């Protein structure tokens, strides 16, 4: 959110500088009375408060492994989507669950760096803790990747997910799954 505000402030500053430059050029060509009217209009434009995006609330399905690691179970969570519903749903997965019948799947201290959608593929970038703090074996790797992929592919516009760590493609998490290409929805992990 902080980066977004900085970006908006930078764009507004550039716009303001451009409008001041245009205003100066216009003053040289227009009579003084027209110029003062233009200055009043510019002040009104600058003084208008910035419109903020109102966060929408949405109920989504987040997938967590059952206690014995054989299936993924959907958990309904309410999230505030704001400008980025995909980031919000990944944050919900990172927060975990308090349900004793389910397992927290994300490695400790993992942070979401970014998420981008391009041509129906979600590119999810996690911090280095995603690999560093992963303690599971082959089942843990399948359940973790399945949780991410199946949670994001709940959105019909996402058909596959590719996982990155610190902005770099990874071949595998712990040697059990090929993560070098996007992974499609893992339906066989979902509880029937």
Give the tens place of pLDDT for each residue, 127-186. 999 999 998 888 999 999 999 999 999 999 999 999 999 999 999 888 889 999 999 999
DSSP symbols for 115-171: EEEETTEEEEEE-THHHHT----HHHHHHHHHHHHHHHTTSTT--EEEEEETTEE-S
Same domain, 91 and 72: yes
Report yes or no on 182 lying in a domain: yes
DSSP reduced 3-state for 109:
coil
Same domain, 16 and 82: no
What's the pTM value of the predicted model, to 2 decimals? 0.70
Q: Left, alpha or beta for 56 (phi > 0: left; psi -120 to 50: alpha)?
A: beta
**CA–CA gap between residue 190 and residue 192 (Å, rounded):** 6
Are the beta carbons of 65 and 71 closer than 8 angstroms?
Answer: yes
Q: Which positions ≥6 away from 147 have C-beta within 8 Å?
A: 62, 63, 64, 65, 72, 93, 105, 106
Same domain, 23 and 87: no
- Domains contained in the chain, number: 2
Same domain, 73 and 166: yes
Same domain, 21 and 65: no
The boundaries of the domain holding residue 26 are 2-47
């Amino acid at each position: 959110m902080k980066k977004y505000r900085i970006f908006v402030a930078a764009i507004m500053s550039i716009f303001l500088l451009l409008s001041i430059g245009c205003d100066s050029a216009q003053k040289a060509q227009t009579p003084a009375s027209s110029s003062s009217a233009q200055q009043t209009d510019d002040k009104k434009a600058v003084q208008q408060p910035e419109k903020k995006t109102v966060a929408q609330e949405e109920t989504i399905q987040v997938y967590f492994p059952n206690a014995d690691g054989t299936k993924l179970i959907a958990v309904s969570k309410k999230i505030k989507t704001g400008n980025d519903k995909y980031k919000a749903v990944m944050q919900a997965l990172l927060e975990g669950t308090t349900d004793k019948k389910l397992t927290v799947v994300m490695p400790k201290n993992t942070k979401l760096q970014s998420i981008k959608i391009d041509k129906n593929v979600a590119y999810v970038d996690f911090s280095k803790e995603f690999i560093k703090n992963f303690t599971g074996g082959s089942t843990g790797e399948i359940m973790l990747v399945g949780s991410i992929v199946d949670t994001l592919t709940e959105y019909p516009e996402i058909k596959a997910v590719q996982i990155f760590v610190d902005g770099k493609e990874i071949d595998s998490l712990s040697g059990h799954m090929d993560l070098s290409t996007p992974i499609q929805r893992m339906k066989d992990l979902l509880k029937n």
